Amino acid sequence: MTLRLTWLGVANWLFEAGDTQILYNAYFSRIPQEEFYGGPIEFDHARAPRVPDKETVADVVAAVSGERGIGYVFTGHSHFDHTFDVAAVAELTGARVVGSRSTKYQALAQGIPAGQCTEVSGGEHLVLADGLEVWVVRWDHGLADVAPEISEPRELAAVPVPDPETGGLYAGALDAFPNGGGSRGYLFSWHTGETRLTWFVIDASAVGDPQRPVVVDGVDHGRPFDNLRDAMADAGIERVDLWIGPGMGLPDAEESVAGAMPLLRPRVFIPHHFDSIFAPFHDGIGPDSEFSSPAIEDTAARAGASLHVPQRYLDGWQLTGGGLAPVDTTGLRRRLGLP
């Protein structure tokens, strides 16, 4: 029983559990930073509408998915660097889209039928295949001290209207790509017989205040850490084999990792979302985007979690009951022309 996982840059992953392939987030088009403006980190609005780079999306999907094909696209939150290419992947593969109301509305705006989308708010338990289940954990985006406009939980109120000339959407956090009411974490469990593998993945930069509930449109969605405890209890999971979590070297992200580590007690921790969200995908991870957080390294060490840091796009591993082992993905990188 082996889970195969491949990092596709930023917070994009491909999980392969038996015959089921799950893409986590989809952002390969890469919008240049100068196309955004407004707010403390120039992230609020886009200067022009954009459409996905379908050629790049198709290249990535063809290279990594093989003959089985992607069955699901899960999204952690709805900012452009997580969901901009979700509709393109769903159109290409027929994959079911799972995520926030905003993610669903973004997909509908780009022609994906409502029946292909599953909206989740937190607390749901989904069965994806025989023995493969997931619990949805409502989370907070965090980074309120750095950029409150992207941290505040926001959902789209209606399906955004594409540009009549280009068919594109404005990718700003206050345009068609808000964070989707905070974020969603996913607690996966895959079992055959008496063998069980578990992993938790969250892509938000930080948890924010773990004692503050996520409130959207007057609805209280609970405190992130309480939501995680409830999901683990419902799943009968005392600790996870793998946690993929925040990798930014920012105080909020580091505090988030330190706070959640005792709850998850992971055997393995992989940080992500530390590389550039603007550089072209085919450039791969640049020398200025490497993981750097002594605090997160120290937290993992003190918790006894084995730390595995992605070094290159398409780095891959296999997870078994015996732990995590690297997989040679040189052929995939060559196929995509990655360094």
Dihedral angle sign, alpha carbons of residues 246, 251, 254, 257:
negative
Three-state secondary structure along 198-220?
EEEECCCCCCCCCCCCCEECCEE
Distance CA 223, CA 212 (A): 6
Domain map (residue ranges) of the chain: 3-336
Q: What is the pLDDT of residues 79-137, one digit of tens each?
A: 999 999 999 999 999 999 999 999 999 999 999 999 999 999 999 999 999 999 999 99
Q: What is the pLDDT of residues 227-257, one digit of tens each?
A: 999 999 999 999 999 999 999 888 878 888 9
In CATH, which of 3.40.220.10, 3.40.50.880, 3.60.15.10, 3.40.1190.10 is domain 3-336? 3.60.15.10
Cβ within 8 Å of residue 110, ≥6 positions away: 87, 88, 91, 162, 167, 169
**Helix (H, G, I), strand (E, B), or coil: what is residue 88?**
helix
Q: What is the pLDDT of residues 6-52, one digit of tens each?
A: 999 999 999 999 999 999 999 999 999 999 999 888 899 999 999 99
pTM of this structure: 0.96
Q: Is the pLDDT of residue 208 over 70?
A: no
Residue found under tokens 């995520």: 99
